A and B are shown apart, each in its own frame.
Chain A
């Protein structure tokens, strides 16, 4: 009973994170039905918030509230797609490097080290400048650049797991590398992988928003980053129209907060001083 209560209270932060994320997912799915206007439709510009336009309109008269709802789709898509690419790539690199010690490991970890040191944003800027603005390019850029930290973590886990008794004995029984990875290593790194994935989604969303703000996103697509860009460039910021740029930033922040809560609000360590009483 007390154990159950303990688990529930311990995960309060994570539950809040899941709830916020589900709300955003709902907005993304239902956007065409709950949005009061078509966000691409032009109309009277720079309207203040009112009952017809909850958050007013932008410089070309598009409804900001509807833009915000449609922007959820873009952020979630970019975040999850890019994180999927990045974490898959990182997992493969980490598993291979951890299992095949020697030259291949050194080589892969060398590449990983380079990518860890290279500043992501300037590199992403450079690549997307050459590739041109499009949501798929954005996903590719973030996905292909953000794998090293996953690779690092997975490799160190693999190294510690492969030293453990059960992998040794499975190997002694003649199990192959692929089988070992699939049967023994992957299940063990799965929780870590989930946490890493969720954090990468957050990083990808932030990166997407930054690149869009810099003008490297699709100019027609509705995304929170583009909304911030237009508000900043086309008078919303200078004109003090906070209802234009505060909501999209807040939405990005809430999304990232919920993902962060899910990934590491989970485990609160127990008091290390208890070991003096409990350990024998």
Chain B
């Protein structure tokens, strides 16, 4: 392993790299509609374009920032995006930034707890499975998580909703609330609606992490310090959860960062099935209506969230391993 620099320098160099990636993502967002074969306005309007008078087309072009030389368009786009002007939604007739602001919080309300709870679940289950390797517990956990890992999230959501919503009637059929509640009752109502989607996403996230934790615990329990912890007279659980798991967490952090995108995609798809008013539902409706400004804004904000999440994961990684401080 390479020698590590001073922590502050490490953070600074990471920050610069993420800044560059941010810049590239913004450029990608700008270039995508302009790189596609054909004229962007024609692409957006589809068949209607052939009926529209030329001056209307010109006006639309100006509206969408598609007029003038490419570099002028680029600087205008950059300025607009940074000042929060992300264009107007065709579908809901309001600024894209507003629509996204409304939906993003509901996605995060599912995504963030799912990431944390899933990692916890995977850590405990993976550690126990590794410790009692080849026992019934290990085989059971492995089979269950592997099956969960393989099934499409949105399909599992449909099955869960069918069984627990339609058949048993234990949980609501979707959306965030049932209606007019406020205060504590509102929070309880939202929590109630959250059980199924959050539970599903937590287990999905855990399924991704389980094998990672299991593998890294297995390789760590051959370490001398694990033997030493046992020889000191620590109980099995203290050896496992203090000395073994603690050192197995670094790979988990790396994998969590890599899997952010996958889990987020899962969240978006699951939202659609549960009519959860987050980014997934917004995107779904925007696809149906070919609402390009919303799709571009959604891509941008999700990419930025991913960037931030990866940056945080990097920082946690440095903090977890004293040898890197």
Contact = CB atoms under 8 A, between A and B. Distances in A.
A84 interface: no
A264 interface: yes
A113 B22 CA distance: 11
Contacts of B133: 271
A254 B133 CA distance: 25
B19 interface: no
B287 A118 contact: no
B240 interface: no
Nearest to B17: A113
Contacts of B295: 125-126, 129
B301 to A, nearest CB: 9
Contacts of B292: 129
B236 interface: no
A257 B207 CA distance: 12
A213 B269 CA distance: 9
Contacts of B219: 269, 272
Interface stretch (A93-101, A186-194, A242-250): A242-250
A119 B302 contact: yes
Contacts of A242: 159, 162
A269 B133 CA distance: 11
Contacts of B222: 271-273, 275
B268 A121 contact: yes
B146 A215 contact: no
Interface in A233-262: 237, 240, 242, 245-246, 248-250, 252-254, 256-257, 260-261
A253 B287 contact: no
Interface stretch (B58-66, B91-99, B112-120, B258-266): B258-266
Given A253-B150, A264-B211, 15 more contacts: A113-B21, A114-B25, A119-B260, A120-B265, A122-B299, A125-B283, A206-B152, A213-B272, A249-B151, A253-B155, A256-B151, A257-B149, A269-B215, A272-B219, A275-B222
20 contacts: A113-B21, A114-B25, A117-B261, A121-B264, A125-B287, A129-B290, A213-B154, A214-B284, A215-B287, A228-B158, A237-B162, A240-B166, A249-B152, A249-B158, A250-B151, A252-B155, A260-B150, A272-B222, A273-B222, A275-B222
Interface of B: 17, 20-21, 24-25, 28, 32-33, 36, 43, 133, 146-147, 149-152, 154-156, 158-159, 162, 166, 211, 215, 218-219, 221-223, 227, 258, 260-262, 264-265, 268-269, 272-273, 283-284, 287-288, 290, 292, 295-296, 298-299, 302-303, 306-307, 310
